[in-house]
Structure 1
Amino acid sequence: MCREIPGDMQGSGGGVSMRILLIMDPGIPVPPILYGGHERLVSLFAEEYQKLGHEVTLLAGPESHCSGKTVTFGTNDLGRSKQVRFKEARFVWKYLRKNRDNFDLIHNFGRLVYLLPILNSPVKKIMTYGRPVATGGIKIVNSLPNRNLIFTACSDNCVATGNIKGHWETVYNAIDFSQYTLNYKVGTAAPLMFLGRLDRIKGAHTAIDAAKATNNQLVIAGNVSHTEEDQAYFKTVIEPQIDGTQIKYVGPLNDAEKNMQLGQAQALLFPIEWDEPFGMVMIEAMACGTPVIAFRRGSVPEVVENGITGFIVDDAAGLQQKIAEIDTIDRFLCRKTAMERFNAEVIAHNYLQLFNK
């Protein structure tokens, strides 16, 4: 069940070197090939901690790797059974009992239950959430003896879903801006873009309506989940409107394709119908200089700087109005502003400073 892969343990950077363990659930490898938001973040921070001179160990699913040491466990299957998940938790418990004194910081992006054996040990622990928090586990953990445990979530909005007990901090998500190319200028005929999982709550149908109402081309990219409800939404609402000319669907994108498609777009449309905890695609677009027009839900007011990196709107009419004003956004300033807030180096530093507060 476990495979250990040696890696280059030499890093660079100033300060005291720490031994850091990053934990992620199996199901999707770290880094992911296509879909996998948290898996992408774990990979990013593993590499960034290593660059800063720390010794990094990654504990994650099969086919995972990083520049430090990687220990793999479990099964890459998002539909795996509760029995398999329990076996995975037992593996992590055994690993932590044996190795907890070998680390200065344990940064867990996986299940909270993984931390049970070390809750009251002196090692510093960060439990990071990227989706709405189930508070039952938080109550249980905080009813037990614990120390040196900080909970983080990717926005104030997300923190508010779990901040019932314990020490909570907001630490935003990040990307590596060096992997995205700034496109200083696009033409008036450049397409709009929708990028995200094609569920109704992500709002692809609203993006299509806006493109048609403003006579713009729209490129839709993203995966269709396998649930019956989402399949029906795509087949009955989205697919009939894809004509290959004004409304194009290009499927899931790898990193190179994402960089190309986002960079050549006038704007990214983000008309969400739920309280999105963060929305990585927004800063991926900004990294290309592409402004975001988004509904005022969830983390959007924290991520989008109105009039600088895009526009925040309240409804479909507002979305259409701001499409007409998108050329007032300076694409260079859009990227620069977002990079100052969300680049991986900035956010990694924010995590490592938590225990100095």
Structure 2
Amino acid sequence: MDPGIPVPPPLYGGHERLVHMFAEEYKRQGHEVSLLAGPGSHIPGECYAFGVNNLERSSAQKSKELLQAWAFLYKRRNDFDLIHNFGRLVYLLPVLNAPVKKIMTYGRPVSTKGIKIVTSLPNRNLIFTACSNYCVSTGNVAGSWKTVYNAIDFSKYRVNARVDHDSPLMFLGRLDKVKGAHTAIKIAKRTANTLWIAGNIPETADNLAYYKQQIEPLIDGKQVIYLGALNDEEKNLYLGQAKALLFPIEWDEPFGMVMVEAMACGTPVIAFNRGSVPEVVNNGITGFIVEDEAQMTNKIPLLKEIDREKCRAAAAQKFNVTKIAARYLSLFDYHD
């Protein structure tokens, strides 16, 4: 796992959360687990720290981290049955043609240049995975590719089987423009609903300007309420009380973990039909897939038709960590 954020993350950090969860699940199934990740990381198994936890670290620092990862993997190349890489593809170079089995996992659109270079080199026992069919399609130019969805531990989420008709709508995610918080606000105002907004305030100049100009002035503490960045317990609390999660994305989302987190609380999702959305949302069961603001607005009165317990059950059948961990292990037949 790349340094930058510890495993597990204190707040934001989708892949870091996944890595910790899979480590716990593999340990529960009786496997020995080791982790190479940033300082302060911990799992139920051996942990090796490298690099620094700083998302703004320099190129020189990243180069130093690459050398550290190479040295670790080359030295330990015969110690593992399986290496599962959630970090940079280039980390795998020292073991690319070693007998150890390797899974390279992507959670965002893939740079095909790196895939072509690596697969042109001598390599053995290497499988590429990505978190949706859409995401696989961005990188599947060479090598062996499989779709393995992201997961959550449903046992850590509480279903709320019933909410009132005047319960709030919710937006949860990074407050970048492509996530569409401005559209969620428009729809809440158009339908006279309260909107809870939760997520990290962006740090990049363009997205911070977007937040300051288009979101912050509309947060009134009454109809539009900003909750801050939420931890897992707070997500349970607020998602469970919301009547729907609005997901009005303006980009091709590779997966959208927040959609599954909402479903785990029984909360249906109304999402724009982009990226992985058709793979995550079961239309009419776990929410609604829509094409534009008008359709999103029109689906809000239909939320009462969604059975919230069935919403959770359908999502758990597809995205629970036990099922997804088994999917990863099945790639190299590690069930025994």
Percent sequence identity is 67
* Equivalent of residue 289 in structure 1, options 246, 257, 266: 266
Match of 1:6 in 2: none
Following the alignment from structure 1 to structure 2, what is the Cα–Cα distance between the partners of residues 214 and 84? 49
Name the amino acid aligned to 1:95: F
Residue 294 (structure 2) pairs with residue 355 (structure 1): no
Residue 129 (structure 2) pairs with residue 152 (structure 1): yes
Q: Deviations over 1:268-321 (max 9, x none)?
A: 000000000000000000000000000000000000000000000000000001
**Is the partner of 1:101 in helix, strand or coil?**
coil
Match of 1:54 in 2: 31
Residue 111 (structure 2) pairs with residue 134 (structure 1): yes
- Deviation at 1:342? 0.3
Following the alignment from structure 1 to structure 2, what is the Cα–Cα distance between the partners of residues 123 and 78? 30
Residue 232 (structure 2) pairs with residue 220 (structure 1): no
Following the alignment from structure 1 to structure 2, what is the Cα–Cα distance between the partners of residues 217 and 150? 46
- Deviation at 1:341? 0.5
Match of 2:164 in 1: 187
**Is the partner of 1:160 in helix, strand or coil?**
helix
The 4+ residue runs of structure 1 with deviation greater than 2 A are none
Q: Which moved more, 1:272-281 or 1:78-87?
A: 78-87
Match of 1:299 in 2: 276
**Is the partner of 2:47 in helix, strand or coil?**
strand
* Equivalent of residue 280 in structure 1, options 257, 267, 271: 257
- Deviation at 1:356? 4.0
Match of 1:83 in 2: 60
Following the alignment from structure 2 to structure 1, what is the Cα–Cα distance between the partners of residues 125 and 202? 38
5+ residue gaps, structure 2, are: none
Match of 2:244 in 1: 267
Residue 16 (structure 2) pairs with residue 44 (structure 1): no
Match of 2:306 in 1: 329
Contact 2:202 2:211 (C-alpha < 8 Å) held by counterparts: no
Contact 2:273 2:291 (C-alpha < 8 Å) held by counterparts: yes
**Is the partner of 2:33 in helix, strand or coil?**
strand
Name the amino acid aligned to 1:103: F
- Deviation at 1:195? 0.1
Match of 1:210 in 2: 187
Following the alignment from structure 2 to structure 1, what is the Cα–Cα distance between the partners of residues 251 and 273? 10
- TM value normalised by structure 2: 0.99
Match of 2:43 in 1: 66
Residue 42 (structure 2) pairs with residue 101 (structure 1): no
* Equivalent of residue 121 in structure 1, options 68, 79, 98: 98
Q: Deviations over 1:207-255 (max 9, x none)?
A: 0011011110000000012111111101110011111111001110011
Match of 1:198 in 2: 175
Match of 2:293 in 1: 316
Following the alignment from structure 2 to structure 1, what is the Cα–Cα distance between the partners of residues 26 and 47? 14
5+ residue gaps, structure 1, are: 1-23
Name the amino acid aligned to 1:226: E
Residue 206 (structure 2) pairs with residue 243 (structure 1): no
**Is the partner of 1:312 in helix, strand or coil?**
strand
Following the alignment from structure 1 to structure 2, what is the Cα–Cα distance between the partners of residues 79 and 227? 11
- Deviation at 1:355? 2.2
Following the alignment from structure 1 to structure 2, what is the Cα–Cα distance between the partners of residues 352 and 225? 36
Following the alignment from structure 1 to structure 2, what is the Cα–Cα distance between the partners of residues 193 and 300? 17
How many equivalent pairs are there? Answer: 334
Name the amino acid aligned to 1:282: M
